């Protein structure tokens, strides 16, 4: 079992839909959770960064962490064609040697069609 599981998709939705992207993980030590957006052939862009359980909202994006279920989500409201990209989850804990190197999911490809 991989440490971080993420469905690669593609997930295809109509413009204006609410999108739900998810990751599950097995390492209960993960404390920091991130979502990145990556357009084709570009570098990942940090969207959301959360610590421990709970919700965090930023504009049309809401990140949700449920540590008891080892499950994180990213919701996108009023999705736009410009949201079409690959969304990577990442999470980190204090590893051996005290480093906080993130572990990435494989990414979910999102397509928002007009």
First to last CA, the chain: 37
Nearest to 20 by CA among 33, 30, 6: 6
When asked if residue 92 is in the footprint of another protein (CB under 8 A), the reply is: yes
**Binding-site string for another protein from residue 9 to residue 38, where x marks contact by CB under 8 A and - marks none:** ----------------------xx-x-x--
Whether the CB-CB separation of 40 and 30 falls below 8 Å is answered with no
Among 14, 43, 59, 114, binds another protein (CB under 8 A): 43
Q: Number of residues in contact with another protein, rule: CB under 8 A?
A: 26
Among 11, 17, 104, 111, binds another protein (CB under 8 A): 104
When asked if residue 1 is in the footprint of another protein (CB under 8 A), the reply is: no
Residue that has been written with the tokens 């804990």 in this structure: 93
Minimum CB–partner distance for residue 14 and another protein (Å): 24
- At residue 11, the 3 state secondary structure works out as strand
Nearest to 21 by CA among 102, 112, 100, 97: 112
Q: Which residues bind another protein (CB under 8 A)?
A: 8, 31-32, 34, 36, 41-46, 49, 51, 88, 92, 97-102, 104-107, 109
């Amino acid at each position: 079992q991989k440490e971080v599981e993420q469905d690669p998709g593609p997930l295809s939705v109509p413009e204006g839909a609410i999108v739900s992207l998810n990751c599950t993980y097995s390492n209960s030590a993960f404390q920091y959770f991130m979502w990145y957006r990556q357009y084709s052939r570009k570098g990942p862009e940090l969207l959301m960064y959360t610590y421990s359980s709970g919700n965090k909202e930023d504009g049309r994006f809401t990140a949700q962490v449920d540590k008891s279920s080892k499950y994180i989500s990213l919701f996108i409201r009023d999705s736009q064609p410009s949201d079409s990209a690959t969304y990577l989850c990442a999470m980190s804990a204090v590893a051996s040697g005290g480093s906080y190197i993130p572990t990435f999911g494989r990414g979910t490809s999102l397509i928002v069609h007009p």
